[in-house]
Amino acid sequence: MKRLYKLIVIEILMATVVALSAFAAAEKEGESPTEAVTVITSEKLTFDYKKQYALFENNVLVTDPEMQLAADRLTVLFDNKGKAQSIKAEGRVTIRQTDKTAQAGLATYDFETGKIVLAIKPRVTRGRDMLEGEIITFWRDQNRMICQSQARLVIYPEKGGVKDQFFGE
């Protein structure tokens, strides 16, 4: 049962990490034009080259082959070379990937550290299973996460029993 619990938690959380880190995939150097495309739409876009940021406002929708993100605002901060440093999505943030969904009032992603933070009533769901807390933090590529405080994980049994595919049981 402990293994099953760990597997479900890891699957739910890693799905969210993969969805958020899809932004990072667009930052790869040498990406050819025939590769997957990320499209960001909004009612307003403000780009300031001197201050090194892009601000997407109102009905922001990010569509990527791996996920879809919706928010009221999306801010991308750039370094001196024009490379994205961090992303902040604010207001009614929803991230969808196949059967997984993350919701929060705020989501941030740091490209250098791979740290993803969901705050303001964050919730991650997969089917009926759900993880909630005040802040949910993931580190991409580290298989590590912290859910604090008031962490709550709800797991429903699958119909016909549960098979542990991760451990081959």
Tens-digit pLDDT profile for residues 34-93: 578 889 999 999 999 899 999 999 999 999 887 899 999 999 999 998 888 999 999 999
Average confidence (pLDDT) over 11-38:
51
Average confidence (pLDDT) over 123-140:
89
Phi, psi of 77 (to 5 degrees): -100, 140
What structural domains and CATH numbers belong to the chain?
2-26+37-154 (2.60.450.10)
Q: What amino acid is encoded at 24 in this protein?
A: A
Tens-digit pLDDT profile for residues 96-122: 888 888 999 999 988 888 888 999 999
Please report the pLDDT score of residue 5 as a whole number: 40
- Whole-angstrom distance, CA of residue 76 vs CA of residue 18: 18
Give the chain's largest Cα–Cα span.
Answer: 59
**131: β partners:** 124, 153
Please report the pLDDT score of residue 111 as a whole number: 85
Please report the pLDDT score of residue 159 as a whole number: 66
Average confidence (pLDDT) over 134-142:
85
Please report the pLDDT score of residue 36 as a whole number: 80
Report whether 87 contacts 71 (CB < 8 A): no
Please report the pLDDT score of residue 22 as a whole number: 47
Average confidence (pLDDT) over 19-47:
67
Most confident of 3-17, 41-55, 154-168: 41-55
Sole residue written with tokens 């876009």: 45
- Whole-angstrom distance, CA of residue 7 vs CA of residue 164: 8
Using CB atoms within 10 A of its CB, is residue 163 exposed (0-12), middle (13-18) or buried (19+)? exposed
User: Quick check: 3 pLDDT over 70?
Assistant: no
User: Quick check: 31 pLDDT over 60?
Assistant: no
Phi, psi of 49 (to 5 degrees): -65, -40
Confidence label for 140 from pLDDT (cuts 50, 70 and 90)? confident
User: Quick check: 161 pLDDT over 50?
Assistant: no
